[in-house]
Chain A
Amino acid sequence: MSNALFTYTLRLADDLLILSQRLGEWCGHGPVLEEDIALTNRALDHLGEARNLLTYAGQVEGKGRTEDDLAYLRMERQYTNVKLVEQPNGDYAHTMVRSFLFDAYHLPLMQALLKSTDEQLAAIAGKSVKEATYHLRASSEWIIRFGDGTEESHQRAQAALDNLWTYTGELFESDAVLEEMTKAGIAPDIAAIKESWSKTVDQVLSEATLKRPADAFMMTGGRKGLHSEHMGFILAEMQHVTRAYPGAEW
């Protein structure tokens, strides 16, 4: 049980940690100052949630690993995030579509986790749900603006959606770990999260005049530590300082 809880908590954390790292790449490169600030704010919120989850995962594991040990001192195969969050930023539409697809999943997940039988996960969700609501609102507004904007913004948003769609299946995969967690009332029923996600996606895409891609081949592997070719580069940058100066503090 504690093993499954560790794995489950780590999955929740890794999605946010890696997405945060990706969004942080925009710092100083945003298309306008307000959006530069918005993206780093968003990255900071994700990182804060990841920190809470990593700290808890370390406690559950009981081997004395801290949030920093888990964030910085694992190897690529030990990260269990979905491939969606490690995809490159691309243009602004690509970044926003990636965040929108994630936010539409993250919000109902956090809402459901409020009722988790695990008190600490419920407490973390209690903090995150407020921020997640804000994130989904912000990314939805951008999807609508892009889709229903100019011919070029529409085309770019649609291209991002078509490109990223294959990574959405992984968000709703189930396996023995998730089944055990759901049975224990710790994790919510993933089918219900998918239903909510699908509804949000349909609503926003329809307002944005964008076309929902058809479900075809769906990428998989992230939860087992099998990542896309981008992951190693993300970790190299993320872990560089910690590895170069072991134990350094400020």
Chain B
Amino acid sequence: MITKHRILELLDYVKDPEIPAINVLELGVVRGVEVEVSGKAIITITPTYTGCPAMDVMAADIKKELLEAGVPEVEVKMSLSPAWTTDWITDEGKRKLREYGIAPPEKSADIRALKGEQPVVACPQCGSKNTVMLSLFGSTACKALWKCQDCLEPFDQFKCL
């Protein structure tokens, strides 16, 4: 019988397919883990962006990881409510994003975000706050494109949601 604790350990190995630096737990998409008497595991995940193609891959990867580890049956449920927020990305997840070259999202309760103003985003390369947004949309649904005015490197920013 595989315990909930063990399943959480296994989920550590399931990465975001588009940002392989962080796993599904750090991304905050896993909202529930249940193990039934039969040994069947029910994992509830929530989508980051509604159209994000990575969600289907994540669900398949979770299934694969758990089945290979000997869980007899796995069901991955999708739950829309409460809606995912970037606040659910763990501190460890944010640290790894920065290391990977993606500026992590600010807190959604940030007063600038509430007022719809542009956030102050530090360059993940050199740490400078002298940065400018190039485009509201980036290489994936969750990112915007920025540029550092000091080290001149472009970088992705995880949009605050």
Contact = CB atoms under 8 A, between A and B. Distances in A.
B49 to A, nearest CB: 6
A41 B83 contact: no
A120 B78 CA distance: 13
B161 A138 contact: no
B137 A42 contact: yes
Interface centre among B50, B52, B138, B161 (most CB of A within 10 A): B50
A123 interface: yes
Contacts of B53: 44
A137 B80 contact: no
A200 to B, nearest CB: 13
Could you tell me the dominant secondary structure of chain B's interface residues?
Answer: loop
A124 interface: yes
A113 interface: no
A190 to B, nearest CB: 24
Given A126-B80, A126-B82, A137-B136, A34 B145 contact: yes
A37 interface: yes
B139 A128 contact: no
A37 B51 contact: no
29 contacts: A34-B135, A34-B145, A37-B139, A38-B135, A38-B137, A41-B141, A42-B137, A44-B52, A44-B53, A45-B49, A45-B51, A46-B51, A48-B47, A48-B49, A48-B52, A49-B51, A51-B51, A123-B81, A123-B83, A124-B80, A126-B80, A126-B82, A126-B83, A127-B47, A127-B84, A133-B116, A134-B159, A137-B136, A138-B136
B50 A127 contact: yes
Interface string B39-56: 000000001011111000
Contacts, number: 70
Interface in B116-161: 116, 134-139, 141, 145, 159, 161
Interface residues of B, number: 22
Contacts of A41: 137-138, 141
A52 interface: yes
Contact of B50 (A35, A52, A133, A134): A52
A127 B159 contact: no
3 nearest interchain CB pairs?
A: A48-B51, A48-B50, A123-B81
Contacts of A131: 49-50, 161
A34 B134 contact: yes
Given A49-B51, A124-B80, A130-B161, 5 more contacts: A38-B135, A42-B137, A44-B49, A44-B53, A47-B51
A141 B133 CA distance: 13
Interface in B66-122: 80-84, 116
Interface in A173-201: none
Nearest to B86: A130
Contacts of B80: 52, 120, 123-124, 126-127
